[in-house]
Structure 1
Amino acid sequence: MVAIGDLIGYLARGLGGFLAGRSRSSSFYWGLIFLGYGINLFAVPALALAGNWEIAFILVLIERIGKGLRAPARDTVLAEITEGIGKGKGFGLHEVMDQTGAILGPAIVGYALYQGIGYSGSFKVLLIPALFAMAMLMIAFLNHREVHSISSKEEGKHEKLPTQFWIYSASMALLALGFIHWVLAGYHIKNLGLLPDSEIPFIYMVAMITDAIIALPAGFLYDKWGPKTLLVTPFLAMLAIYYLMMGAERMYIYIGAVIWGILMGLYETNMRVTVADAVTPQNRAYAYGIYGVVFGTSWVVGNGIMGALYPISVTYILIFVIGVEIVSLGMLGVFLKRFRKMC
């Protein structure tokens, strides 16, 4: 079910990117952003009204669709408004705030449950930060109504995406094939009894906190060194699989969680900024949509392969990951060579 939700969310990015790019309208861009955030922010509190798991699952799928639809337009706007301070810093700050919310949300629900409000009441409490988030989004819109990189006079027209973008997308697709999903890692930890059940959610929180901590420094490094900062990502994917799947001690699991969080932080910052730098500003929405579909589909397929290999041998998973990450590193090198020439 998690894989289905993730896949639908990433496919929605393709639709969002196509619609935004096709429209070439600032109003449409912001409309998609508001629609996406509105769906996302109110679908979760609506879980309080879910009477069974089927309705809850549908609400989760709706939340993923909203998240996917808004992403290309949002990232296009974010890339534009952060040109002055550095896109790396801008995307890094965005990820810090995003992860802060991801950590505080469950904490709020947990505290509400502790106070005896119950699950239904706990999710209703989330309406408060949801309304606050929409208010902040409105302030952002009022300060940047026009998306300057697009022109309504050229409605429906767009340039062909450059070769370096496709090479980069292929490299990141291979990276995603070997990037273990936390659900599979968590299952492995549970299956072998490497940690107590109560500690497994905590180890995931360690990964998320690491993601938040690394995001802004990673963005600073991107503004200084550019896409070269991504050369470390294939090695991180290999190390993550080794420590999370091959280690039999608690310390190995924690090291793996930190490495996984670092890689996720780079995915949410530097990898997204590179998309903006690999294409013209006018084509960013298209590029973000395609990149989202390619990366997301590869991530789901890769973890499907790892899941199929798991009953046979964890060693086979390690071999698979090492193989695809080596190829990913090679293609990333080709992209960097073309990127330097472009600059």
Structure 2
Amino acid sequence: MSAGASRVDDAADAGQLTAAAGRTPVAAGTTQAWRVVVGFGVVSLAADMVYEGARSIYGPLLASLGASAVVVGLVTGAGEAAALLLRLVFGPLADRTRRYWTLTIVGYALTAVCVPLLAVTPILGGAGLAVAAVLILAERLGKAIRSPAKSALLADAAGRVGMGRGLGVHKALDQIGAFAGPLLVAAVVAVTAGALWPGLAVLTVPAVVAMLLLTRLRVRARASPEERDTGIGPGVAAKTGRASLPGRFHWFSAAMAVCTAGLVTFGLIGFHLVRAGVVATAAVPLMYAMAMATGGLAALLTGVLYDRVGPWVLVVLPAMIAVVPPLAFGGGLPAAVVGVVVWGAAVGLQDSTVKAMVADLVPRERRATAYGIFAAVQGVGALAGGAAAGLLYDRSVPSLTVAVAVAQAVALLMLLGVLARTRQHRRDPA
């Protein structure tokens, strides 16, 4: 048996981590696997243009419909909470029903339908605000429905070409959409003298493209007869067993939640840069776009390193997070630029290479469940960290810097423990 085939079998049957230096991807089906990886990447690119473009003007849209700051916060906050926490429902549902493709398509369809419909809310009078709130929540529900199932399908394909590299390529394509969507909306709004509905209406185009590409990808997946709705191709039929999630996965989830809690939000960074006079308000979206581009490059680089040297590449994440506050909040423009670049790289690593380790830590037939749990734990960390960062920032930047550094030291110790246990498990899987 080849080393690459052994990697797939180990991850599927024993749930053990298999990323290691020098491993060769599975030769059979590699071309098809790359088609799935790149196909999902292009679908994500188009879909990100839709929902990231819309999210860039949710605040002004809701305000124009009569929402107060409290209502804006409640609607957008509830949407993000739903997108993360409801994965606890749809992840296990995907694994239990094996309807990975169905859930993926339904989730993307909600986004493709709900976002363009926001363009009609300004003409609905008093009902416009309520309809907009429902559409925003429904779009985030779509994210919760599709994410665990899509991640499981994507991990199947990425495992054949190198888990880190495959997820890195997908994330890089995804980031292009996250970069282009807000710019497209901003350009349309500028051309239409500040009208918001044309910027939302134009997102119909990438929405239709995303659904057409996804449908084509499903047709070309060539699922074998015994896995009609579950697999990506011959030889990857889903198991029906109910293997438990290993303790190493839960410890890793906790460690990454601590990392996420320490990663200050870009909203806080942008708030500081404008209030401190470091950059003008108009420059903040450009800084964010720079961070998104950096995240895509970081996903590619760390993904390749993950496949070559193993999961130890992840130890750089706590260090990266720890240096963001002193750079972004403690100096002038050059330091802030470096801080934003590091922030973007950390986000890219979290959204790609970290997910590669999740896939390698758990049995293949429980990946959707694992991704659902992982997202929920990350959401709790983000919520707690965001609230704490805001309070500490109001108190003093040095206190925020110290708190983040301490949290990342804890996260690093937890991560080292997981990596050590994983290495021991690989040596003695019994």
What is the TM-score of this pair, normalised by structure 2? 0.74
Q: Distance in 1 between matches of 2:184 and 2:388?
A: 36
Instruction: Identify unmatched segments of 5+ residues in structure 1.
Output: none
Matched, 1:135 2:219: no
Residue 269 of structure 2 contacts residue 328 of structure 2 at CA under 8 Å; is this kept in 1? yes
One-letter code of the match for 1:120?
Answer: W
Give 1:306 shift.
Answer: 1.2
Which residue is 1:126 aligned to?
Answer: 203
Out of 297, 301, 313, the residue aligned to residue 229 of structure 1 is 313
Out of 93, 101, 115, the residue aligned to residue 30 of structure 1 is 101
Residue 29 of structure 1 contacts residue 73 of structure 1 at CA under 8 Å; is this kept in 2? yes
**Structure with larger Rg:** 2
Correspondence 1:1-343 to 2 at 5 A: 1=73, 2-23=76-97, 25=98, 28-51=99-122, 52=128, 55-116=131-192, 118-144=195-221, 145=223, 146-147=230-231, 148=236, 150-151=238-239, 154=240, 158-247=242-331, 249-343=332-426
Q: Distance in 2 between matches of 1:56 and 1:186?
A: 26
Percent identical pairs in the alignment equals 32
Where 1:44 maps in the other structure, the secondary structure is: helix
Residue-pair matches, total: 335
Residue 94 of structure 2 contacts residue 100 of structure 2 at CA under 8 Å; is this kept in 1? yes
Give 1:3 shift.
Answer: 4.1
Give 1:71 shift.
Answer: 1.0
One-letter code of the match for 1:101?
Answer: G
Q: Distance in 2 between matches of 1:62 and 1:316?
A: 38
Q: Distance in 2 between matches of 1:35 and 1:142?
A: 16
Give 1:114 shift.
Answer: 4.3
Q: Distance in 2 between matches of 1:286 and 1:131?
A: 29
Give 1:197 shift.
Answer: 1.1
Give 1:56 shift.
Answer: 3.5
Residues 310 and 123 (structure 1), Cα distance of their counterparts in 2 relative to 1, 3 Å cut: same
Q: Distance in 2 between matches of 1:18 and 1:174?
A: 24
One-letter code of the match for 1:48?
Answer: A
RMSD between aligned alpha carbons?
1.8
What is the TM-score of this pair, normalised by structure 1? 0.92
